[in-house]
Structure 1
Amino acid sequence: MLLIEPALGIFCRYWQMPTAYSYIRFSSEKQAKGDSIRRQSDMARQYIEANPTLELELDTALKLTDEGLSAYKGVAQKKGSLGAFIRLLEDGKIEKGSYLLVESLDRLSRQTPRIAFTLLNTLIDEGIVVVTLNDGKAYTKEVLDSDNGMSLIFAIMLMSRAHEESAIKADRVSKAWRQKMIRVADGVQLTRRVPFWINKEDRTKTLPERVAVVKKIFQLSAEGMGGQRITAKLNQEGVLPPTTLATKWGVSSVKKVLNSEAVLGMLTTADGVKHADYYPRVISEKLWTKTRFQGVSSKATRDKGNVHPLSGLCVCSVCGATATRSGKTGRIRKDGTRNLWRTLVCANALGNRSACGYQSISYDSIVSAVLSALSDYQYKAPSDLVGGQLWQIGEAISAMADEIADLKATIKLNRSSSSLKQRLTALMVEYDEMKSEQSRLRDLRRPVSAKEVEGGLKALLNDGLIDNKHFKQVVRSVAINFNERTLFVTAHDGSTLTSDIGSLHKSEMGH
């Protein structure tokens, strides 16, 4: 969770007293409930009080707290307030000579020593004094360049130890889950914590009354209802909430159901691996896909009208003119559903300034086509060498996933076969290694990373206020051929993806 609250005039300093910024990070819910925040905050105040000659002023307007963000995977640096601090520093909005107070170096990063030291060096090169409060050591250019490199070596040793500890922990978690999944093949239930529509005693059985509620939620979403309207309808009809601790449904509970892959039978374990067919599937793939799209359309009814996820990106592929909105929202289609988005049309064609010919396409059809293109982005067969390797490993992973599924089914029928279980263990280890290699190749191939693509997709699918800044980090432009109903998505790495624009509604064609 990112907590960063800049106040007006925070960076306007009229005195020379150096500013100290306290950075707090913890990665687990258990730490959040414990003493982590208070302890790290107290250490910062105690350091300032113990060093009056530094004349440090603790900044209280810029709150740098990363809750639940991992330093082992670099999430805090990429998405959290630590990353925001670095960007403010690079933009000149944090004064040189300021202090960054952290409990220890592993609060900054638990990545490999090379990556972790690069982060520390970036802060120091920008004129920041990094202080580790557990030992009171201050890291500056002068310190790292003096004492024959001993401070530098000491920092790298600490970073190496932190990374090794996290790597060992991650490996233990991964192995533990692999062993648990082998037990699943024997019919063993891993935990009593299951979705509310699943029988706690037997995960292979569902609770029919609650399954009916789940299906109702998805059906309402597919019909165009947003989270708030679905919640209101459930409460109006007296539908019991998923937990006895609540008396009514909340919007967050509805959204949690709509975003849960457990409805497709999927279990996502602590290591991030998805395991198909762990639970009984309760809705169809078709209904799931339809609600993914409706999640985009339903936002339009809450938006101010002029802002949309693809704002500033769409052009006509024939003449290069901007694709502009036309038509009205709110009209009822022939199938009874309401049109939530306007249509897009070439601006030149709209003003009869080109030979493109007036042909409008509904905005929701275009969004759907862009989603389809982005979903295939990481797996599209490219011509470059690394891309070719990525394509091959993707095919191999798909084949291995099928083999693992078949082997689990065989073991379930023949539980006494130790050789099959050994083969399954070996396959799952190999599968994890291939997934890691796939991730490495993705980031090696292009500056647009897999996580940026995921961010772009979430910018389109996430329920709430529309903000396409994440989408623009991935996509440079969307060129639309209105007559042929095709579009070309160009990413910032130069990749171009082609997608056909389907007809979601017959009435959307033409003008």
Structure 2
Amino acid sequence: MQRKCYSYVRFSHKKQELGTSFARQSDIQHFVEKHNLIVDTKLEDLGVSAFRGKNSQKGQLGDFIDLVENGLIEENSILLIENFDRLSRQKVIKSTQIFINLLNRGVDIAVLDTGKIYSKNTLLSSDFFIAVIEFERANAESSRKSDFTSAAWNIHRAEMRNNKSVKTRKTPSWIGVSGVVKARPGDESAKFFIIENEARKIRKIFDLALSKGLSETARAVNDWLEPNEPKYSIHQIQYLLKNKKVIGEHQPMKFNENETGEMKLMPEGPTIHDYYPAIVEKAIFEEVQEKIAGRKPFSGRFNKSRLNIFQGFITCYHCKGTVRYMDKSSIERGNKHYFVCTNSMSRKCVINRRLTYNASEAMQYFFEKTDRLNLSEIFENDEKILTLNSSIKEAERELKNTFAQLERLKKQIKEMLRSGKEISDTLNEMLIEFETSQRQQIKTANALKEEKQKSVQQIEASRSFDQDNILELLNDKSDEATRKRITINNHLKQIIENIEFFCRGYSKKNPITGVEDKRSTLTPTMIVRFKNGAVRVIVESELIKDVGEQSGGAELYLQILEDMHQKMILK
């Protein structure tokens, strides 16, 4: 029977494809024909380096390794490479780990340069030591090349420090580069220049930050910008205010391996002062640092008791941005929990006002409608579990039959071996086919059982929503209540794709005139989108169900909300 092989071609740089490397690695075809192999898949990582292990993590080789580890590549298959350095150029211990793991999973490794096929059943100690030596050589060669590159950049960094030389066009958004970076005799040397249109915005941000907090600074600068200019978020403002490049400083960085073996960008040497043209005076920069040191970007506390049951899937309908949970409760002022559109804090939201909702009220509306949300109807758990039970029984029946057939075939092969008879290719093929079917059936049965378990858990969690003390649970800060809220949150994440908050107006009105009290929080309409496609719209005391002819009007109401949204934008 022909064995399957997976040919692997890797180039560190894509331009190598045009050279002799591509022709050399095309000899794979000759090897395949010589050993009567069937090429299942051609794996190619063009322009992917093996020195840092990128090919074994993110490239096609990495995908192949994942398939092997998940049992999706048949045992006795062959991975075909030109040389050991095509597989990995990492440090010896990591390279040999990849090599051994593949062999242990039943995948042989063939090396074209030597014509050697390595297998766990025939691997000798001398074979292993040869592999180690080859991996060590590959790593040493890549380290040497890396040292050359590092040496070149060390020279560049020295010139940057001594002469303020421009060595790259990668600069901050307010700095441009004129001239030639790698100048030759007669070329104009590269120089930095200030992009004034960008610099003026950053100077304005620093001016505002001298007297305002982050949120106020963001709102003020966004109001100051022209209508067609991009707006700043609070996090962008925070980043710019701390960026020392505005006063001309540059910190060279270099990739280094951290304590866990990951490659991280780390500072390389001292900071270079006066490298870029400064756009903010140093005294102003330092004064701003002093002022923001005592401030927090959000005044609401980070709450370890996890009061936000909607954490992880709540967004603003109007700008699609995140909605932040803020706890401003205190002993004197209890139950002060809010949901706030983060973009609205800096007026980056298309609705030109701060969108703050009463969190307790919003969660109360949601859970008051739990019975009418009819989660059981959405999951169809009862019917689903019955279907799963039937599928599990069928899978177990098929597995039992396959096992019986496999045992009979193995017994027949053993008897033939005892009697000295030759085992035909047909019997070998049948054996492999039954073993493959058995593995797949086991996997299918296990998947069905896991799916049933999740459905059972969903039913149990859904029942807990109907308890009378659910609103009390929302404000209980005990450890037990926290655990329950986390359980509910995890359950909701499994079934809910997204909850959008739509601003319908203020929560309080003058009892006589009916005019909205703009000092009060907003009342949200919640559009709940489930992962199975179902939609529920919660409008205070009303619930509008799925989109469709017999849905109760959700489709029509969603259109009404969109019309309201467009009118609000035009105001």
Q: TM-score, normalised by structure 2?
A: 0.39
Q: TM-score, normalised by structure 1?
A: 0.43
The higher relative CO (CA closer than 8 Å, separation ≥ 6) is in 1
